[in-house]
Amino acid sequence: METGLKIFTHPLWKIGGVTITLLGILKLVTVLVLGLLALRYLRRKLELVLVRRFGLPASLVNSVTTLVYYLLLIILFLVALSSAGVDLTQVGILFGALGVGIGFGLQAITSNFISGIILLMEGSLKPGDLVELEDGTLGVVQEINIRATIIRTFDGEDILVPNSEFINKRVSTWTYGDDWRRIHIPFGVAYGTDPERVKKVVTEAARQVPLTEEDEDHPVRVWFEGFGDSALNFTLVVWIRQSRAKRALTGIKSDYYYAIHRALAEAGIEIPFPQRDLHLRSISPEIMHTLREVSHG
């Protein structure tokens, strides 16, 4: 019995005056495991209370519970160290001994950790937001964690984005203030077509697309952009509600292109193709004779 107790209490090593024993390690692991289970249970219960009793939005509930969870996690870690026999006044010495390694090896983790706290406290980004990263990645925010944010693209791909990217880089959000978004769909028609007729036909076609939202502040427009090499250039400008669309911009534009093509075809308005004039500077007599025979039919 005494031998077993000596094994558990025998000093394994010392760091800055902190003595590490097998018994201390077992206490540390036990407190951490039980504490983590309790914290996860408490987090789920807190989410239910905030949603059901107080009716808070899911994005706010996620931010609050995440902050509370990590705050209690820090307290749990300190309690676990204390239960293992570590003098908390010496914790600073312990971290000082590891400071060099943490400074060089965990810079990215520290940056993402602090960025996660900023995102959760600031509330500028929340689950359900449609965001576009600087590299062109477009997706819906699923979850904001303390190290990384999970974004789900419209192709069904889940991407873990380090939180520092949302702090240090430019991020476009389509649902920050509201979900009204204006879509530009360029198209062209053949020369000789009445622009007013094009405007009427395409405007009516756009209004038939289910995604189109229109009121006094968000009208459907057809802009006459100019004269191209082979066509009169127009742009259809429509408003949609992104939260209702829940699709990538490419798919949304496709619906309008289908509607424009169908409406122009039904109205007998020609959609042009590029035309080029061919000038021959020299040609053999045989080919010239053949071309004359063909032209005379």
261-270 pLDDT per residue, tens: 999 999 999 9
Read off φ and ψ for residue 163, nearest 5 degrees: -60, -25
CA dihedral for 277, 280, 285, 287, sign (positive or negative):
negative
Percent of the chain with pLDDT over 90: 24
> Looking at the DSSP assignment, which residues form a beta bridge with residue 130?
140
Q: Answer yes or no: are the C-beta atoms of 62 and 121 closer than 8 Å.
A: no
Q: What pLDDT does residue 221 have?
A: 94
84 membership: H or E segment, kind and range: none
Parse the chain into domains and list their residue ranges.
2-105, 125-173, 180-266
Q: What pLDDT does residue 230 have?
A: 84
Neighbours of 8 (CB within 10 A): 12
60 membership: H or E segment, kind and range: helix 58-83
- Residue showing tokens 């509330």: 123
What is the band of 101 on the pLDDT scale with cuts at 50, 70, 90?
A: low
9-29 pLDDT per residue, tens: 656 566 555 566 777 778 888
* Distance in angstroms (rounded) separating the CA atoms of residues 146 and 67: 9
Fold for 2-105, please state it. Helix Hairpins (1.10.287)
Average pLDDT of the chain, as a whole number: 80
154-188 pLDDT per residue, tens: 888 899 999 888 888 888 887 777 778 899 999 99
* Distance in angstroms (rounded) separating the CA atoms of residues 218 and 180: 9
Name the class of domain 125-173: mainly beta
Percent of the chain with pLDDT over 70: 80
Give the pair of three-digit tokens for residue 251: 């798919």
In the CATH scheme, what is the code of domain 180-266? 3.30.70.100
Q: What pLDDT does residue 198 have?
A: 95
